[in-house]
A and B are shown apart, each in its own frame.
Chain A
Amino acid sequence: MNDLRREVNEVFANQQAQLGDVSQTSNRMVRAAIGGRRVHRQLWPSVAGVALVLVAATAVGTSVVIRGLHPKAVITHHPSPTPIATPTASPAPTPMSKLLNVPASTPVILFRDPVDVQQIDGITWDGSTTGRVAANPEAGFVQNPAGTLYGGTGIHDRTGAVVASPAVNTKGFSGTWADDGRHYCSMVSKDPLGQLGGEPTTLQVTLVGQAPRNVVQVGRVYEQTSAGVAACSIEKDRAVAVQSTSIGTTVQFWVVQLSTGRILWTRASTGEIRSSRDGQYIAEITNQAGGSATTTIYSPTGAVLGHAAGRVEAFSWDGSLAVQMEAYGRQVSIINWRNGTVVWKGPSDGGYVDALPEPGGQRIAVSVLDPQHPQTGGFPPRNVYVVAPDGQAVELLTDVM
Protein backbone atom coordinates (compact mmCIF):
# COMPACT_ATOMS: atom_id res chain seq x y z
CA MET A 1 0.00 0.00 0.00
CA ASN A 2 2.84 2.40 0.86
CA ASP A 3 4.46 1.84 -2.53
CA LEU A 4 1.17 2.48 -4.27
CA ARG A 5 0.59 5.57 -2.17
CA ARG A 6 3.99 6.94 -3.06
CA GLU A 7 3.54 6.25 -6.75
CA VAL A 8 0.04 7.69 -6.82
CA ASN A 9 1.26 10.80 -5.04
CA GLU A 10 4.01 11.20 -7.62
CA VAL A 11 1.39 11.15 -10.38
CA PHE A 12 -0.80 13.61 -8.48
CA ALA A 13 2.20 15.86 -7.88
CA ASN A 14 3.04 15.80 -11.55
CA GLN A 15 -0.50 16.80 -12.47
CA GLN A 16 -0.55 19.50 -9.83
CA ALA A 17 2.64 21.06 -11.18
CA GLN A 18 0.59 23.25 -13.53
CA LEU A 19 -0.57 25.24 -10.49
CA GLY A 20 2.93 26.53 -9.83
CA ASP A 21 3.41 28.94 -6.96
CA VAL A 22 -0.03 29.88 -5.68
CA SER A 23 0.85 31.92 -2.62
CA GLN A 24 -0.03 35.23 -4.31
CA THR A 25 -3.15 33.72 -5.82
CA SER A 26 -4.24 32.45 -2.42
CA ASN A 27 -3.89 35.84 -0.78
CA ARG A 28 -5.80 37.54 -3.57
CA MET A 29 -8.60 34.99 -3.33
CA VAL A 30 -9.10 35.37 0.39
CA ARG A 31 -9.21 39.13 0.09
CA ALA A 32 -11.62 38.92 -2.81
CA ALA A 33 -13.91 36.61 -0.84
CA ILE A 34 -14.05 38.98 2.09
CA GLY A 35 -14.48 41.95 -0.22
CA GLY A 36 -17.22 40.10 -2.01
CA ARG A 37 -19.15 39.74 1.19
CA ARG A 38 -19.14 43.45 1.74
CA VAL A 39 -20.59 43.93 -1.70
CA HIS A 40 -23.14 41.20 -1.18
CA ARG A 41 -24.24 42.70 2.12
CA GLN A 42 -24.89 46.02 0.46
CA LEU A 43 -26.59 44.54 -2.55
CA TRP A 44 -28.59 41.87 -0.79
CA PRO A 45 -31.91 43.72 -0.39
CA SER A 46 -31.95 44.77 -4.03
CA VAL A 47 -30.79 41.32 -5.18
CA ALA A 48 -33.58 39.76 -3.17
CA GLY A 49 -36.03 42.19 -4.72
CA VAL A 50 -34.85 41.39 -8.22
CA ALA A 51 -34.99 37.68 -7.41
CA LEU A 52 -38.59 38.00 -6.26
CA VAL A 53 -39.50 39.77 -9.46
CA LEU A 54 -37.69 37.11 -11.48
CA VAL A 55 -39.43 34.31 -9.59
CA ALA A 56 -42.79 35.95 -10.18
CA ALA A 57 -41.97 36.49 -13.84
CA THR A 58 -40.76 32.92 -14.15
CA ALA A 59 -43.96 31.64 -12.59
CA VAL A 60 -46.07 33.62 -15.04
CA GLY A 61 -43.82 32.57 -17.91
CA THR A 62 -43.88 28.94 -16.87
CA SER A 63 -47.63 28.79 -16.76
CA VAL A 64 -47.77 30.28 -20.23
CA VAL A 65 -45.16 27.82 -21.50
CA ILE A 66 -46.97 24.88 -19.93
CA ARG A 67 -50.23 25.92 -21.50
CA GLY A 68 -48.45 26.44 -24.78
CA LEU A 69 -46.53 23.18 -24.80
CA HIS A 70 -49.03 20.82 -23.31
CA PRO A 71 -51.20 20.10 -26.34
CA LYS A 72 -48.08 19.73 -28.47
CA ALA A 73 -46.53 17.38 -25.94
CA VAL A 74 -49.61 15.20 -26.02
CA ILE A 75 -49.46 14.68 -29.74
CA THR A 76 -45.72 14.69 -30.32
CA HIS A 77 -43.70 11.55 -30.66
CA HIS A 78 -40.41 13.39 -30.71
CA PRO A 79 -38.07 13.66 -27.75
CA SER A 80 -39.34 16.36 -25.43
CA PRO A 81 -36.48 18.75 -24.67
CA THR A 82 -38.07 20.11 -21.52
CA PRO A 83 -40.33 17.95 -19.38
CA ILE A 84 -43.63 19.40 -18.32
CA ALA A 85 -43.91 20.34 -14.68
CA THR A 86 -46.96 19.42 -12.63
CA PRO A 87 -47.54 21.86 -9.82
CA THR A 88 -49.60 19.36 -7.86
CA ALA A 89 -46.63 17.13 -7.16
CA SER A 90 -44.27 19.72 -5.72
CA PRO A 91 -43.04 18.94 -2.22
CA ALA A 92 -44.60 20.84 0.63
CA PRO A 93 -42.47 23.14 2.80
CA THR A 94 -43.31 21.04 5.85
CA PRO A 95 -43.20 17.23 6.07
CA MET A 96 -46.15 15.58 4.41
CA SER A 97 -48.77 15.01 7.11
CA LYS A 98 -51.66 13.57 5.12
CA LEU A 99 -51.54 9.79 4.92
CA LEU A 100 -51.26 8.19 1.51
CA ASN A 101 -54.76 7.03 0.74
CA VAL A 102 -54.87 4.72 -2.27
CA PRO A 103 -56.15 1.19 -2.81
CA ALA A 104 -53.67 -1.44 -1.62
CA SER A 105 -52.82 -2.59 -5.12
CA THR A 106 -52.29 0.85 -6.69
CA PRO A 107 -48.63 1.24 -7.68
CA VAL A 108 -46.84 4.13 -6.06
CA ILE A 109 -43.36 5.56 -6.03
CA LEU A 110 -41.87 5.88 -2.55
CA PHE A 111 -39.46 8.65 -1.68
CA ARG A 112 -37.91 10.36 1.30
CA ASP A 113 -39.78 13.44 2.38
CA PRO A 114 -37.70 16.47 1.31
CA VAL A 115 -38.28 18.20 4.63
CA ASP A 116 -37.87 15.19 6.90
CA VAL A 117 -35.66 12.53 5.33
CA GLN A 118 -36.69 10.05 8.02
CA GLN A 119 -40.21 10.01 6.66
CA ILE A 120 -41.24 7.97 3.63
CA ASP A 121 -43.89 9.43 1.36
CA GLY A 122 -45.57 7.95 -1.67
CA ILE A 123 -47.05 9.27 -4.89
CA THR A 124 -49.10 7.60 -7.59
CA TRP A 125 -47.60 7.36 -11.06
CA ASP A 126 -49.97 10.01 -12.43
CA GLY A 127 -49.20 12.36 -9.53
CA SER A 128 -52.86 12.59 -8.57
CA THR A 129 -52.42 11.27 -5.02
CA THR A 130 -49.57 11.73 -2.64
CA GLY A 131 -49.18 11.31 1.10
CA ARG A 132 -47.16 10.10 4.03
CA VAL A 133 -46.42 6.39 4.26
CA ALA A 134 -44.42 5.96 7.44
CA ALA A 135 -41.66 7.24 9.63
CA ASN A 136 -38.47 5.48 8.65
CA PRO A 137 -35.51 6.09 10.90
CA GLU A 138 -33.50 3.57 8.87
CA ALA A 139 -30.81 4.77 6.50
CA GLY A 140 -32.15 3.21 3.34
CA PHE A 141 -35.10 1.42 1.90
CA VAL A 142 -35.84 -0.55 -1.26
CA GLN A 143 -39.39 -0.64 -2.53
CA ASN A 144 -40.94 -3.50 -4.44
CA PRO A 145 -42.07 -2.69 -7.99
CA ALA A 146 -45.48 -1.38 -6.95
CA GLY A 147 -44.36 0.19 -3.69
CA THR A 148 -46.70 -2.02 -1.68
CA LEU A 149 -43.80 -3.26 0.45
CA TYR A 150 -40.36 -1.92 1.16
CA GLY A 151 -37.27 -3.40 2.73
CA GLY A 152 -35.13 -1.67 5.34
CA THR A 153 -33.94 -3.48 8.43
CA GLY A 154 -37.24 -5.33 8.11
CA ILE A 155 -39.88 -5.62 5.43
CA HIS A 156 -42.66 -3.11 5.88
CA ASP A 157 -46.04 -2.62 4.29
CA ARG A 158 -47.41 0.71 3.18
CA THR A 159 -48.47 1.62 6.70
CA GLY A 160 -44.92 1.15 7.93
CA ALA A 161 -45.83 -2.03 9.82
CA VAL A 162 -43.17 -4.77 9.83
CA VAL A 163 -44.51 -7.78 7.96
CA ALA A 164 -41.31 -9.84 7.92
CA SER A 165 -37.84 -9.78 9.42
CA PRO A 166 -35.40 -11.20 6.91
CA ALA A 167 -31.70 -11.58 7.54
CA VAL A 168 -30.10 -8.25 6.65
CA ASN A 169 -26.57 -7.03 6.25
CA THR A 170 -25.07 -3.87 7.68
CA LYS A 171 -26.77 -1.81 4.99
CA GLY A 172 -30.20 -3.31 5.67
CA PHE A 173 -32.30 -5.22 3.19
CA SER A 174 -30.04 -6.62 0.50
CA GLY A 175 -32.58 -8.56 -1.54
CA THR A 176 -33.75 -7.83 -5.06
CA TRP A 177 -37.51 -7.65 -5.29
CA ALA A 178 -39.17 -10.02 -7.71
CA ASP A 179 -41.59 -8.77 -10.30
CA ASP A 180 -44.58 -10.20 -8.42
CA GLY A 181 -43.76 -7.87 -5.52
CA ARG A 182 -44.09 -10.68 -2.97
CA HIS A 183 -40.84 -12.58 -3.45
CA TYR A 184 -37.26 -11.43 -3.38
CA CYS A 185 -33.97 -13.01 -4.39
CA SER A 186 -30.68 -12.73 -2.58
CA MET A 187 -27.18 -14.15 -2.58
CA VAL A 188 -26.04 -15.56 0.71
CA SER A 189 -22.90 -17.14 2.07
CA LYS A 190 -21.73 -18.40 5.41
CA ASP A 191 -19.45 -15.41 5.79
CA PRO A 192 -20.99 -12.41 4.00
CA LEU A 193 -17.71 -10.50 4.22
CA GLY A 194 -15.96 -13.25 2.36
CA GLN A 195 -12.57 -14.62 3.20
CA LEU A 196 -9.26 -15.48 1.62
CA GLY A 197 -9.87 -18.29 -0.87
CA GLY A 198 -13.49 -17.37 -1.25
CA GLU A 199 -16.76 -18.54 0.21
CA PRO A 200 -19.44 -20.20 -1.94
CA THR A 201 -22.55 -18.11 -2.46
CA THR A 202 -26.06 -19.44 -2.91
CA LEU A 203 -28.95 -17.85 -4.74
CA GLN A 204 -32.07 -17.90 -2.59
CA VAL A 205 -35.65 -16.91 -3.30
CA THR A 206 -37.96 -15.94 -0.48
CA LEU A 207 -41.69 -15.37 -0.26
CA VAL A 208 -42.16 -12.54 2.23
CA GLY A 209 -42.87 -13.97 5.63
CA GLN A 210 -41.66 -17.47 4.76
CA ALA A 211 -38.33 -19.26 4.98
CA PRO A 212 -35.89 -18.76 2.08
CA ARG A 213 -35.48 -21.49 -0.53
CA ASN A 214 -32.04 -22.34 -1.90
CA VAL A 215 -32.07 -22.21 -5.69
CA VAL A 216 -28.49 -22.93 -6.73
CA GLN A 217 -24.97 -22.33 -5.57
CA VAL A 218 -23.19 -19.98 -7.97
CA GLY A 219 -20.15 -17.83 -7.47
CA ARG A 220 -17.90 -17.16 -4.57
CA VAL A 221 -17.46 -14.15 -2.38
CA TYR A 222 -13.96 -13.07 -1.46
CA GLU A 223 -12.64 -10.36 0.78
CA GLN A 224 -13.79 -6.98 -0.51
CA THR A 225 -15.94 -8.55 -3.23
CA SER A 226 -19.67 -9.01 -3.45
CA ALA A 227 -22.37 -11.10 -5.03
CA GLY A 228 -25.81 -9.79 -5.85
CA VAL A 229 -28.93 -10.27 -7.91
CA ALA A 230 -29.61 -8.06 -10.93
CA ALA A 231 -33.10 -9.44 -11.63
CA CYS A 232 -35.59 -11.74 -9.96
CA SER A 233 -38.65 -12.79 -11.93
CA ILE A 234 -41.38 -15.08 -10.74
CA GLU A 235 -43.28 -14.40 -13.95
CA LYS A 236 -40.46 -15.61 -16.20
CA ASP A 237 -39.06 -18.08 -13.65
CA ARG A 238 -35.53 -16.72 -13.78
CA ALA A 239 -33.01 -14.66 -11.90
CA VAL A 240 -29.72 -13.03 -12.80
CA ALA A 241 -26.97 -13.57 -10.23
CA VAL A 242 -23.81 -11.48 -10.43
CA GLN A 243 -20.43 -11.88 -8.81
CA SER A 244 -18.58 -8.58 -8.66
CA THR A 245 -15.26 -7.16 -7.66
CA SER A 246 -14.92 -4.65 -4.85
CA ILE A 247 -15.42 -1.77 -7.29
CA GLY A 248 -18.63 -3.11 -8.76
CA THR A 249 -17.27 -4.52 -11.99
CA THR A 250 -18.46 -7.99 -12.83
CA VAL A 251 -16.50 -11.21 -12.70
CA GLN A 252 -19.24 -13.55 -13.89
CA PHE A 253 -23.01 -13.55 -14.16
CA TRP A 254 -25.49 -16.42 -14.34
CA VAL A 255 -29.04 -16.54 -15.67
CA VAL A 256 -30.79 -19.13 -13.55
CA GLN A 257 -34.16 -20.88 -13.69
CA LEU A 258 -35.68 -20.23 -10.27
CA SER A 259 -37.85 -23.33 -10.05
CA THR A 260 -35.09 -25.82 -10.87
CA GLY A 261 -31.83 -24.01 -10.20
CA ARG A 262 -30.71 -24.82 -13.73
CA ILE A 263 -28.19 -22.37 -15.17
CA LEU A 264 -29.72 -21.19 -18.44
CA TRP A 265 -26.61 -19.35 -19.54
CA THR A 266 -23.61 -17.70 -17.97
CA ARG A 267 -20.84 -15.42 -19.04
CA ALA A 268 -17.58 -14.06 -17.64
CA SER A 269 -17.47 -10.29 -17.78
CA THR A 270 -15.38 -7.32 -16.79
CA GLY A 271 -18.16 -4.78 -17.23
CA GLU A 272 -21.14 -3.80 -15.13
CA ILE A 273 -24.40 -5.73 -15.37
CA ARG A 274 -27.94 -4.32 -15.54
CA SER A 275 -31.02 -6.35 -16.33
CA SER A 276 -34.63 -5.94 -17.29
CA ARG A 277 -36.86 -6.83 -14.36
CA ASP A 278 -37.54 -10.30 -15.79
CA GLY A 279 -33.96 -11.19 -16.69
CA GLN A 280 -34.88 -11.36 -20.38
CA TYR A 281 -32.55 -8.58 -21.47
CA ILE A 282 -29.16 -8.03 -19.93
CA ALA A 283 -27.02 -4.96 -20.45
CA GLU A 284 -23.28 -5.31 -20.02
CA ILE A 285 -21.64 -1.91 -19.64
CA THR A 286 -18.00 -1.75 -20.68
CA ASN A 287 -16.14 1.32 -19.51
CA GLN A 288 -13.74 2.92 -21.94
CA ALA A 289 -10.77 5.17 -21.36
CA GLY A 290 -11.75 8.75 -20.60
CA GLY A 291 -14.97 7.85 -18.83
CA SER A 292 -17.07 6.85 -21.84
CA ALA A 293 -18.74 3.45 -22.14
CA THR A 294 -20.50 1.08 -24.51
CA THR A 295 -23.24 -1.38 -23.66
CA THR A 296 -23.85 -4.84 -25.08
CA ILE A 297 -27.40 -6.14 -24.83
CA TYR A 298 -27.99 -9.89 -24.56
CA SER A 299 -31.12 -11.82 -25.46
CA PRO A 300 -32.96 -14.26 -23.16
CA THR A 301 -30.71 -17.03 -24.49
CA GLY A 302 -27.46 -15.10 -24.20
CA ALA A 303 -27.11 -14.06 -27.84
CA VAL A 304 -25.82 -10.57 -28.52
CA LEU A 305 -28.76 -8.46 -29.69
CA GLY A 306 -26.87 -5.25 -30.22
CA HIS A 307 -24.71 -2.52 -28.85
CA ALA A 308 -25.62 0.89 -27.51
CA ALA A 309 -23.36 3.87 -27.03
CA GLY A 310 -22.91 4.87 -23.42
CA ARG A 311 -24.38 3.21 -20.37
CA VAL A 312 -27.71 1.42 -20.33
CA GLU A 313 -28.74 1.61 -16.70
CA ALA A 314 -32.31 0.34 -16.65
CA PHE A 315 -35.16 -1.04 -18.75
CA SER A 316 -38.88 -0.46 -18.92
CA TRP A 317 -41.09 -3.25 -17.55
CA ASP A 318 -41.48 -4.86 -21.00
CA GLY A 319 -37.80 -4.32 -21.79
CA SER A 320 -38.44 -2.27 -24.92
CA LEU A 321 -37.12 1.03 -23.60
CA ALA A 322 -33.84 1.69 -21.86
CA VAL A 323 -32.43 4.46 -19.70
CA GLN A 324 -29.18 5.50 -21.31
CA MET A 325 -26.47 8.10 -20.83
CA GLU A 326 -23.07 8.78 -22.31
CA ALA A 327 -21.45 8.57 -18.88
CA TYR A 328 -22.37 9.18 -15.28
CA GLY A 329 -23.24 12.81 -14.76
CA ARG A 330 -24.23 13.30 -18.38
CA GLN A 331 -27.68 13.92 -19.80
CA VAL A 332 -30.07 11.01 -19.37
CA SER A 333 -32.08 9.70 -22.31
CA ILE A 334 -34.81 7.13 -22.75
CA ILE A 335 -34.19 5.15 -25.91
CA ASN A 336 -35.83 2.40 -27.86
CA TRP A 337 -32.69 0.30 -27.84
CA ARG A 338 -33.76 -1.94 -30.72
CA ASN A 339 -33.80 0.87 -33.28
CA GLY A 340 -31.82 3.55 -31.46
CA THR A 341 -34.69 6.03 -31.38
CA VAL A 342 -34.34 8.60 -28.64
CA VAL A 343 -37.74 8.84 -27.00
CA TRP A 344 -36.89 11.49 -24.42
CA LYS A 345 -33.95 13.54 -23.28
CA GLY A 346 -33.65 14.62 -19.68
CA PRO A 347 -32.39 17.95 -18.43
CA SER A 348 -28.95 18.68 -19.79
CA ASP A 349 -27.46 19.33 -16.38
CA GLY A 350 -28.97 16.57 -14.25
CA GLY A 351 -26.93 13.48 -13.47
CA TYR A 352 -28.65 10.11 -13.28
CA VAL A 353 -29.57 8.72 -9.88
CA ASP A 354 -31.84 5.74 -10.51
CA ALA A 355 -34.88 4.51 -12.41
CA LEU A 356 -38.01 2.51 -11.70
CA PRO A 357 -40.11 0.81 -14.38
CA GLU A 358 -43.87 1.13 -14.04
CA PRO A 359 -45.09 -2.34 -13.04
CA GLY A 360 -47.06 -3.81 -15.91
CA GLY A 361 -46.78 -0.54 -17.84
CA GLN A 362 -44.40 1.09 -20.27
CA ARG A 363 -43.52 4.22 -18.36
CA ILE A 364 -40.23 4.73 -16.55
CA ALA A 365 -39.61 6.96 -13.55
CA VAL A 366 -36.15 8.48 -13.82
CA SER A 367 -34.44 10.31 -10.97
CA VAL A 368 -31.85 12.93 -11.78
CA LEU A 369 -29.83 15.21 -9.55
CA ASP A 370 -30.93 18.80 -9.25
CA PRO A 371 -27.86 20.94 -9.98
CA GLN A 372 -29.63 23.98 -8.55
CA HIS A 373 -29.76 22.26 -5.17
CA PRO A 374 -26.50 20.44 -4.47
CA GLN A 375 -26.36 17.90 -1.72
CA THR A 376 -25.94 19.40 1.73
CA GLY A 377 -27.20 16.54 3.91
CA GLY A 378 -27.11 12.77 3.78
CA PHE A 379 -29.06 12.46 0.54
CA PRO A 380 -28.82 14.42 -2.72
CA PRO A 381 -31.96 16.31 -3.80
CA ARG A 382 -33.31 14.79 -6.99
CA ASN A 383 -36.08 15.39 -9.45
CA VAL A 384 -38.23 12.49 -10.63
CA TYR A 385 -39.58 12.42 -14.18
CA VAL A 386 -42.15 9.94 -15.40
CA VAL A 387 -41.60 9.29 -19.08
CA ALA A 388 -44.16 7.63 -21.33
CA PRO A 389 -43.14 5.57 -24.40
CA ASP A 390 -44.27 8.42 -26.67
CA GLY A 391 -41.75 10.74 -25.03
CA GLN A 392 -44.27 12.68 -23.03
CA ALA A 393 -42.73 13.44 -19.67
CA VAL A 394 -43.97 14.81 -16.39
CA GLU A 395 -41.77 16.11 -13.61
CA LEU A 396 -43.51 14.17 -10.88
CA LEU A 397 -41.37 15.16 -7.91
CA THR A 398 -38.99 18.01 -7.30
CA ASP A 399 -36.07 18.00 -4.89
CA VAL A 400 -37.03 14.88 -2.99
CA MET A 401 -34.38 12.78 -1.30
Chain B
Amino acid sequence: MRAVVGDEAAFESLVRPLVEPGLHLALSMLGNRRDAEDATQEALTRAWRKLHQLRPGMPVRPWFFAIIANQCRNMRRTPWFRLTSVVDVVHREPAPEPGIEHLDLERGLEQLPATDRGALFLHFYLDLSIEEVAATLGVSPAAAKSRIYRACHRLRPAVALEELR
Protein backbone atom coordinates (compact mmCIF):
# COMPACT_ATOMS: atom_id res chain seq x y z
CA MET B 1 0.00 0.00 0.00
CA ARG B 2 2.93 2.33 0.57
CA ALA B 3 3.71 1.98 -3.11
CA VAL B 4 0.20 3.02 -4.03
CA VAL B 5 0.59 6.32 -2.21
CA GLY B 6 3.79 7.09 -4.05
CA ASP B 7 6.56 5.46 -2.05
CA GLU B 8 9.22 4.88 -4.70
CA ALA B 9 11.19 2.36 -2.67
CA ALA B 10 8.04 0.36 -2.01
CA PHE B 11 7.16 0.43 -5.69
CA GLU B 12 10.64 -0.71 -6.58
CA SER B 13 10.52 -3.62 -4.13
CA LEU B 14 7.08 -4.53 -5.43
CA VAL B 15 7.86 -4.67 -9.14
CA ARG B 16 11.60 -5.28 -9.22
CA PRO B 17 11.22 -9.10 -8.97
CA LEU B 18 8.65 -8.98 -11.77
CA VAL B 19 10.72 -7.09 -14.32
CA GLU B 20 12.81 -10.02 -15.44
CA PRO B 21 9.86 -12.41 -15.97
CA GLY B 22 8.06 -9.44 -17.54
CA LEU B 23 10.91 -9.07 -20.02
CA HIS B 24 10.68 -12.78 -20.78
CA LEU B 25 6.93 -12.46 -21.36
CA ALA B 26 7.45 -9.48 -23.68
CA LEU B 27 10.17 -11.32 -25.58
CA SER B 28 7.89 -14.31 -26.05
CA MET B 29 5.22 -12.05 -27.52
CA LEU B 30 7.39 -9.71 -29.60
CA GLY B 31 10.31 -11.88 -30.63
CA ASN B 32 13.25 -9.53 -30.16
CA ARG B 33 15.05 -8.02 -27.22
CA ARG B 34 14.80 -4.38 -28.26
CA ASP B 35 11.02 -4.44 -28.59
CA ALA B 36 10.71 -6.48 -25.40
CA GLU B 37 12.68 -3.89 -23.47
CA ASP B 38 10.64 -1.04 -24.97
CA ALA B 39 7.38 -2.77 -24.05
CA THR B 40 8.53 -3.57 -20.53
CA GLN B 41 9.79 -0.05 -19.96
CA GLU B 42 6.51 1.42 -21.12
CA ALA B 43 4.60 -1.09 -18.97
CA LEU B 44 6.65 -0.11 -15.93
CA THR B 45 5.93 3.55 -16.51
CA ARG B 46 2.23 2.78 -16.85
CA ALA B 47 2.29 0.61 -13.76
CA TRP B 48 3.78 3.47 -11.76
CA ARG B 49 1.11 5.81 -13.09
CA LYS B 50 -1.71 3.34 -12.53
CA LEU B 51 -0.75 2.21 -9.06
CA HIS B 52 -3.93 3.73 -7.68
CA GLN B 53 -5.83 0.99 -9.56
CA LEU B 54 -4.17 -1.65 -7.42
CA ARG B 55 -6.70 -2.44 -4.72
CA PRO B 56 -5.85 -4.00 -1.35
CA GLY B 57 -5.48 -7.76 -1.68
CA MET B 58 -5.16 -7.62 -5.47
CA PRO B 59 -2.25 -9.79 -6.66
CA VAL B 60 0.48 -7.66 -8.21
CA ARG B 61 1.97 -10.22 -10.57
CA PRO B 62 -0.98 -10.75 -12.94
CA TRP B 63 -1.81 -7.04 -12.76
CA PHE B 64 1.68 -6.10 -13.92
CA PHE B 65 1.87 -8.87 -16.51
CA ALA B 66 -1.50 -7.77 -17.90
CA ILE B 67 -0.06 -4.29 -18.49
CA ILE B 68 2.92 -5.83 -20.29
CA ALA B 69 0.72 -8.11 -22.39
CA ASN B 70 -1.49 -5.16 -23.38
CA GLN B 71 1.56 -3.11 -24.30
CA CYS B 72 2.91 -5.97 -26.43
CA ARG B 73 -0.42 -6.37 -28.20
CA ASN B 74 -0.49 -2.65 -28.95
CA MET B 75 3.02 -2.78 -30.34
CA ARG B 76 2.23 -5.78 -32.51
CA ARG B 77 -0.66 -3.91 -34.07
CA THR B 78 1.36 -0.92 -35.22
CA PRO B 79 2.56 -0.79 -38.81
CA TRP B 80 5.92 0.31 -37.40
CA PHE B 81 6.29 -2.99 -35.55
CA ARG B 82 5.53 -4.98 -38.67
CA LEU B 83 8.00 -2.95 -40.70
CA THR B 84 10.83 -3.17 -38.19
CA SER B 85 10.09 -6.82 -37.54
CA VAL B 86 10.79 -7.63 -41.16
CA VAL B 87 14.11 -5.80 -40.90
CA ASP B 88 14.86 -7.72 -37.72
CA VAL B 89 14.13 -11.01 -39.37
CA VAL B 90 16.57 -10.20 -42.14
CA HIS B 91 19.34 -8.93 -39.89
CA ARG B 92 18.68 -10.83 -36.70
CA GLU B 93 21.63 -12.51 -35.08
CA PRO B 94 21.26 -16.25 -35.35
CA ALA B 95 19.44 -17.65 -32.34
CA PRO B 96 21.09 -20.44 -30.42
CA GLU B 97 20.57 -23.67 -32.28
CA PRO B 98 17.70 -25.62 -30.78
CA GLY B 99 18.31 -29.25 -30.03
CA ILE B 100 17.39 -31.35 -33.03
CA GLU B 101 14.72 -33.06 -30.96
CA HIS B 102 13.01 -29.69 -30.41
CA LEU B 103 12.92 -28.43 -33.98
CA ASP B 104 9.37 -29.63 -34.58
CA LEU B 105 8.18 -28.41 -31.24
CA GLU B 106 9.69 -25.01 -31.89
CA ARG B 107 7.95 -24.90 -35.24
CA GLY B 108 4.70 -25.94 -33.59
CA LEU B 109 5.03 -23.20 -31.00
CA GLU B 110 5.67 -20.60 -33.69
CA GLN B 111 2.49 -21.62 -35.46
CA LEU B 112 0.32 -21.28 -32.38
CA PRO B 113 -1.89 -18.20 -32.19
CA ALA B 114 -0.07 -15.58 -30.11
CA THR B 115 -2.72 -15.71 -27.39
CA ASP B 116 -2.40 -19.45 -26.97
CA ARG B 117 1.40 -19.30 -27.02
CA GLY B 118 1.21 -16.53 -24.43
CA ALA B 119 -1.04 -18.60 -22.18
CA LEU B 120 1.33 -21.54 -22.48
CA PHE B 121 4.33 -19.35 -21.73
CA LEU B 122 2.71 -17.85 -18.65
CA HIS B 123 1.61 -21.21 -17.28
CA PHE B 124 4.55 -23.39 -18.23
CA TYR B 125 7.55 -21.10 -18.30
CA LEU B 126 6.61 -18.42 -15.78
CA ASP B 127 4.71 -20.95 -13.69
CA LEU B 128 1.65 -18.78 -13.21
CA SER B 129 -1.48 -20.46 -11.89
CA ILE B 130 -4.50 -20.74 -14.17
CA GLU B 131 -6.15 -17.93 -12.23
CA GLU B 132 -3.11 -15.70 -12.72
CA VAL B 133 -2.93 -16.54 -16.44
CA ALA B 134 -6.61 -15.62 -16.69
CA ALA B 135 -6.11 -12.32 -14.90
CA THR B 136 -3.09 -11.50 -17.06
CA LEU B 137 -4.91 -12.22 -20.31
CA GLY B 138 -8.17 -10.65 -19.17
CA VAL B 139 -10.16 -13.84 -19.67
CA SER B 140 -11.98 -16.25 -17.38
CA PRO B 141 -10.04 -19.09 -15.72
CA ALA B 142 -12.02 -21.53 -17.87
CA ALA B 143 -10.96 -19.70 -21.01
CA ALA B 144 -7.32 -19.59 -19.87
CA LYS B 145 -7.40 -23.30 -19.17
CA SER B 146 -8.99 -23.90 -22.53
CA ARG B 147 -6.24 -21.93 -24.30
CA ILE B 148 -3.54 -23.94 -22.59
CA TYR B 149 -5.24 -27.25 -23.39
CA ARG B 150 -5.81 -26.06 -26.94
CA ALA B 151 -2.14 -25.24 -27.34
CA CYS B 152 -1.05 -28.58 -25.88
CA HIS B 153 -3.43 -30.54 -28.08
CA ARG B 154 -2.16 -28.67 -31.09
CA LEU B 155 1.46 -29.34 -30.24
CA ARG B 156 1.16 -32.99 -29.40
CA PRO B 157 -0.21 -34.30 -32.69
CA ALA B 158 2.36 -32.24 -34.58
CA VAL B 159 5.18 -33.79 -32.66
CA ALA B 160 3.73 -37.27 -32.93
CA LEU B 161 3.22 -36.90 -36.66
CA GLU B 162 6.82 -35.93 -37.20
CA GLU B 163 7.98 -38.88 -35.16
CA LEU B 164 6.07 -41.19 -37.45
CA ARG B 165 7.78 -39.88 -40.56
Q: Could you list which residues of chain A lie within 8 angstroms of chain B, going by C-beta atoms?
A: 1, 4-5, 7-19, 22-23, 25-27, 29-34, 36-37, 40, 224, 245-248, 287, 289-291, 328-329, 348-351, 369, 371, 374-378
Contact = CB atoms under 8 A, between A and B. Distances in A.
Contacts of B96: 14, 17-18
Contacts of A25: 19, 23, 37
A12 B77 contact: no
B52 interface: no
B153 A224 contact: yes
B23 A291 contact: no
Contacts of A8: 105, 109, 120, 124-125, 155
B30 to A, nearest CB: 11
B110 interface: yes
Given A30-B12, A33-B47, A11 B153 contact: no
A371 B78 CA distance: 8
Interface in B91-117: 93, 95-96, 98-99, 101-102, 105-107, 109-111, 113-114, 116
Contact of B111 (A4, A11, A30, A287): A287
A11 B159 CA distance: 13
B111 A378 contact: no
Given A13-B125, A247-B153, A19 B24 contact: yes
B77 A34 contact: no
Contacts of B28: 12, 15-16
A19 B27 contact: yes
B138 A247 contact: no
B84 interface: no
Contacts of A290: 110-111
28 contacts: A8-B109, A12-B121, A12-B125, A16-B24, A18-B96, A19-B36, A22-B19, A27-B16, A29-B19, A30-B19, A32-B45, A33-B48, A36-B48, A37-B48, A37-B49, A40-B49, A246-B149, A247-B116, A247-B154, A248-B150, A348-B79, A349-B77, A349-B78, A349-B79, A369-B77, A371-B77, A376-B138, A378-B138
Contact of A374 (B47, B49, B70, B109): B70
A296 to B, nearest CB: 19
Contacts of B33: 18-19
B40 interface: yes
A14 B98 contact: yes
Contacts of A16: 24, 27-28, 125
Contact of B40 (A29, A36, A224, A374): A29
A7 B105 contact: yes
Contacts of B79: 348-349
A259 B29 CA distance: 49
Given A19-B36, A247-B153, A289-B107, A14 B95 contact: yes
B75 to A, nearest CB: 10
Contacts of A32: 41, 44-45
Nearest to B97: A14
Contacts, number: 141
Nearest to B152: A4
Tell me what chain A mostly uses at the interface: helix, strand, loop, or mixed. Answer: helix
Contacts of B44: 29-30, 32-33
Interface in B11-55: 11-12, 15-16, 19-20, 23-24, 27-28, 32-33, 36-37, 40-41, 44-45, 47-49
Q: Which 3 A-B pairs rank lowest in CB-CB distance, beginning with the nearest?
A: A33-B44, A26-B19, A12-B125
A245 B153 contact: yes
Contacts of B121: 12
Contacts of B116: 247
Contacts of A23: 20
A34 B20 contact: no
A293 to B, nearest CB: 11
Contact of B106 (A11, A40, A287): A11
B73 interface: yes
Contacts of B101: 7
Nearest to A37: B48
Nearest to A375: B138
A19 B36 CA distance: 9
A301 B150 CA distance: 33
A325 B43 CA distance: 29
Contacts of A30: 11-12, 15-16, 19, 44
Contacts of B40: 29
A26 B23 contact: yes
Contact of B155 (A4, A248, A349, A350): A4
B58 to A, nearest CB: 15
Nearest to B82: A330
Nearest to B156: A4
